[in-house]
Amino acid sequence: MLAARRLRSIVVSGLVLTVGCTQDGDVTPKTDQILSNNAELQAPSNLPLREIMRGLEADLAAVAHGIWIADHEAVRTAANRIAEHPKVIPEQVAAIQAALGGEFPAFVQQDLAVHGAAMDLIEAVDASRTTSELFDIFLRAQQGCMSCHSSYRARVAEALTDTGSATETP
Ligand code: HEC
């Protein structure tokens, strides 16, 4: 089931960093599902990588907060936003691809590792796992973020400085 979802993610994305969705955190799981199934209809669903990253940072912090206060539904909601983060704008995907060449699939794989950990968090909440078990998966997700940053952040940031939208200062 999980493997199938990951496969779908790869297929749907066509190597565009997983399926897109909205960043709206207040939707119910049902509405969320509908939004996710109609990801292609959401406009605008594509964002510059840096904006996606800022969302991921906030969402990962929300996961941690949910774990600390043992609010597993909050963990689920934030993990879902991580799993369904928006796609990277095509112009930047092309720039990343050009910069990484044969390493591009490995870059995408790093994104899928974080995606997989987020899906595991959702499944763990649904299976009523303990807070401690959720924490272990959270650590794996966080490790996935840092792993990609260690390997690719500098090179990709450099490659994106020419794509305009990435150069805006925080
Ligand atoms: C597939 C690789 C990859 C993964 C996985 C990844 N990142 Fe990033 N991240 C990047 C790259 C590349 C940049 C630099 C983007 C730029 O400067 O344009 C970045 C930048 C950032 C930034 C800085 C944004 C800014 O304002 O400059 C934050 C915060 C961030 N990531 C958080 C996270 C978090 C949290 C996760 C995990 C939930 C994560 N990232 C997972 C590749 C990744």
- 83 in Cβ contact with 89 (< 8 Å): no
The mean predicted confidence, pLDDT, of the chain is 81
120: Cβ below 6 Å to ligand 1?
A: no
Q: Which atom belonging to ligand 1 lies closest to the Cα atom of 17? A: 1
Return the ligand 1 atom nearest residue 92 CA. Answer: 18
> Where residue 163 falls among pLDDT bands split at 50, 70, 90?
confident
Q: What is the Cα–Cα distance from 7 to 2, expressed in whole angstroms?
A: 9
pLDDT one-digit tens code per residue, 45-70: 799 999 999 999 999 999 999 999 99
Q: Is the CB of 170 under 6 A from ligand 1?
A: yes
pLDDT given for residue 123 in this prediction: 98
Separation CA 108–CA 144 (nearest Å): 12
Quick check: CB of 152 below 6 Å from ligand 1?
A: yes
Highest mean pLDDT among 23-27, 42-46, 145-149, 165-169 belongs to 145-149
